[in-house]
Chains A and B, each alone.
Chain A
């Protein structure tokens, strides 16, 4: 058997979604972003909404999300994605509008925009990548950095007396009347990827049903920022991140 016999349309069992562009990704090995991008691309293709979807990219590692998914995008200022998405959705209510944000973007500099967009019940989906660190700028402490967790601005571990507590913003958002769906997922196993995909699809579907804001938090790895191998990162996330940020639905109306 030679390679031409194997690479043959009849043998095709899996194909990369056409919504993902054929370009090299800048994400580090082991980073969750790539998997979540792929999930979003697959959902957009399966729902047939490529021409009706507008993504809002953040400032952070996902700033270049617009290079990877073949849809219209707006790149927002740091933390302002929910306000930008509000402007888009209010003017184009029949489009699918989602933001894709990291923890620094959503839960630190953009806290006001996040809370108020959710409290108004903007009909948007928010995909929230929580890896407990500022990846793009080189591993500084984030609002979601765990107690005692080391980062370049908490080199001896996050001290609560100095830097306060990790911010469980999804729990906070679940309390707001404007949100209809708040869930916490991960993408470290095949089963988790499938669950996370269903969650993101539901969030996008909700955005067309006038139910309010949907938030899918994806507890994620940052191998470079955490200074671990990809495999160790997954294990460390399960052992350390999951107890602080437990998996599952916080709200589902």
Chain B
């Protein structure tokens, strides 16, 4: 085990990095249910026994439905609480996520995606893009979505997600895939932050249900507003917050785009493949670049719009049937051809097939 606050470089799985980072960022409670390919997260937590060190609670629930509602209860007390799962389990959580969005509760949900629909496959996939960034549960809401492409980002996104979730009082999701969860890479874990005291929680989150103060009104966590006018008021407040998130919190990575004729757009594992494809293209004299959205919601539409007037075309690469490509098309307003290449079923495309797709779909036409 490592000492507190050292900068040691470790080798571990993305799933393990999530567990370590959660303890280190002062997470108060983890509630989860086993599902491949992310079970190492809860296993690592149970092995590390953070309840003996930071006091973090780790509990195995009876289902994903229960997990997300335990997170709701803990989050309602202003606690940093989280759950992790994979696609079918995250489907079960959608009711709870909608309730948390409606009740304005911050939390972290990690989805280490596998292929679907249905029970699908345990192999890696990116097929939950729509579910995550377009709603998933019922009602008008959005959740902040981070897409890590490395084990280091799995670790870094934990505290980033909590910070954003509490800043905007909304659930945040880390949308990873089975490859990022399972692969081992070098990682520098974040330094330890103490868990918030109750005094700090009362200050940061005056809405938290910690017990009614005699001089105060009670705090009530609810998403219920029977009167249409009252409900619309909540809707408008949420929408205003989403516009603020869209204006302030976009994160993306841009590689070799300045002189590019063609740009790959991809997130997570697909972006790693595209980076290699970009290098192969450059070796052949094709000026290719890469834009990697790190926040999928808010989506980096401005940078795509910017390059839409500079390049000859974009190729969106995803491990699904073509989901993010719709947002790339919307962002580029039809100014340039936007093509899609993807594999499904848990198959990771190779850099060669991606480069070939660039040639056949955009260059040799």
Contact = CB atoms under 8 A, between A and B. Distances in A.
Contacts of A91: 28-29, 57, 73-74, 77, 79, 81
A51 B73 contact: no
B69 A72 contact: no
Of A73, A74, A112, most buried by chain B (CB within 10 Å of CB) is: A74
B61 interface: yes
Contacts of B67: 83
A112 B66 contact: yes
Contacts, number: 128
B57 A72 contact: no
Given A75-B223, A76-B69, A113-B65, A84 B212 contact: no
A86 B79 contact: no
A213 to B, nearest CB: 14
Size bracket, chain A contacts = 20 to 34
Of A71, A86, A87, most buried by chain B (CB within 10 Å of CB) is: A87
Of A53, A80, A91, most buried by chain B (CB within 10 Å of CB) is: A91
A187 B27 CA distance: 43
A75 B69 contact: no
Nearest to B31: A87
Contacts of A86: 59, 66, 70, 73
Interface residues of B, number: 39
Nearest to B96: A77
A116 interface: yes
Of B61, B99, B211, most buried by chain A (CB within 10 Å of CB) is: B211
A21 to B, nearest CB: 9
A54 B74 contact: no
Given A70-B218, A72-B219, A74-B221, A88 B77 contact: yes
Of B28, B77, B81, most buried by chain A (CB within 10 Å of CB) is: B77
Nearest to B219: A72
A113 B62 contact: yes
B69 A51 contact: no
B73 A75 contact: no
A91 B31 CA distance: 11
Given A73-B218, A75-B222, A75-B224, A87 B211 contact: no
A74 B210 contact: no
Contact of A87 (B63, B70, B99): B70
Interface in A106-157: 112-113, 116
B60 to A, nearest CB: 10
B96 A88 contact: no
Contacts of A71: 211-212, 218
B220 interface: yes
B289 to A, nearest CB: 45
Of B79, B81, B222, most buried by chain A (CB within 10 Å of CB) is: B222
B210 A72 contact: yes
Contact of A66 (B70, B73, B81, B222): B222
Contacts of B81: 87, 91
A251 interface: no
A237 interface: no
A54 B73 CA distance: 10
Given A70-B218, A112-B63, A77 B76 contact: no
A52 interface: yes
Nearest to B105: A74
A90 B31 CA distance: 11
The 4 closest A-B pairs by CB, nearest first: A87-B73, A83-B69, A87-B70, A84-B73
Interface of B: 28-29, 31, 57, 59, 61-63, 65-67, 69-77, 79, 81, 95-96, 99, 103, 209-214, 218-224
Given A73-B221, A89-B73, 17 more contacts: A53-B212, A71-B218, A74-B221, A75-B221, A75-B222, A80-B65, A80-B69, A83-B70, A84-B76, A87-B31, A87-B77, A87-B81, A88-B73, A88-B77, A90-B29, A91-B77, A112-B62
